[in-house]
Amino acid sequence: MRFRFPRLSRSQFELAKFTFYLMTPITIMYYVGIDTDRKFNVPGYWPDPDTLNKIPKEPHEIQAELARIRQERLEKRRRLEEKARQLGITPDSVDKDQDQDQDPESESERQQTQIEAVLSDE
């Protein structure tokens, strides 16, 4: 004896398709959503909270952080000015070049390439 599927009318078939299409994503979301701690727990993935940057909230902490940022910016500026001096890029040399009536566009391009050279050396 051979197994035969019962004959479905078109409306019953459409209802079965609708049920399948509706339940498939819900079932997948349910499977993925349960017990996520066990499935997605990777030891050492999240950094230790003590090593993260902490946003200052108190006024004295904010002032100390601003002072630290300003100091870093000044140190970086000093370092870049020293590199520019070593490469011969000084405000005096830029003024002399402009006094020689060179094309301003080529001058600005030259300055830009010098600046890029200094920044790329970092």
What is the reported pLDDT for 47?
83
Burial class (CB in 10 A: 0-12, 13-18, 19+), 80: middle
Question: pLDDT tens track of the chain, all 122 residues?
Answer: 677 777 889 999 999 999 999 999 999 999 888 888 887 788 888 888 888 888 999 999 999 999 999 999 999 999 999 998 888 887 766 566 555 555 556 667 777 777 777 777 65
Tokens of 114: 């010098």
Angle at 72 between CA 70 and CA 76, to 5 degrees: 115
What is the reported pLDDT for 102?
54
Tokens of 26: 């819900």
What is the reported pLDDT for 96?
62
Cβ distance 87 to 114 under 8 Å?
A: yes
> What is the per-residue DSSP string for 50-82?
GGS-----SHHHHHHHHHHHHHHHHHHHHHHHH
What is the reported pLDDT for 16?
94
